[in-house]
Homo-oligomer: A and B are copies of this chain.
């Protein structure tokens, strides 16, 4: 870092301070609602959602870690706890003895389906419905620009498949789950 960086001017400072408040409050709001209504953290929700998207509801730990932006260490602890609660199961990967697969069980899928509507409502209530359609598109572009700096090589798969026009959910219940959800009065982020 430079020893004498350019300071922030008034507009930049205002934007920055507000962004700091947003990045502090948004995760807290998501966590609070999910914990209260479903007994899941936002991160656990993401893990379940990513598994629900995958073929056979199964992913390798490494791949799951990329999709949820988690270190393998963090993921290992969380998945162990989810396994203890009966929501996911782990088993050795047949093709690579080093790898572990995590699969979303029926109970886990049910928990996700039960949690999704409240989560989507919260997302709308706190973010999306607070903005005009134009602002939603601006936010998308701004976030993309920031992520370009934070993760230039797109290690996070969250980024890779986030172009507008994307098929289904990714943060909710896509493809596999969403139809079931819609049929059963369940839930997803997109659809």
Contacts and interface: CB of A to CB of B under 8 A. Distances in A.
A92 interface: no
A187 to B, nearest CB: 8
Contacts of A156: 21, 25
Contact of A169 (B13, B69, B164, B170): B13
Contacts of A9: 190
Contacts of A185: 3-4
Contacts of A141: 135
A140 B36 CA distance: 30
Nearest to A148: B130
B6 A124 contact: yes
Interface stretch (A52-60, A83-91, A100-108, A114-122): A114-122
Interface string A129-147: 1110101111111111111
* Copy count, this protein chain: 2
Given A22-B23, A171-B20, A140 B14 contact: yes
Given A3-B185, A4-B185, A133-B11, A146 B26 contact: yes
A13 B189 contact: yes
A157 to B, nearest CB: 10
Interface string A1-17: 11111111111111111
A111 interface: no
A165 interface: yes
Given A11-B133, A117-B3, A142 B145 contact: no
A123 interface: yes
B140 A138 contact: no
Interface in A158-188: 158-159, 162-166, 169-172, 185, 187-188
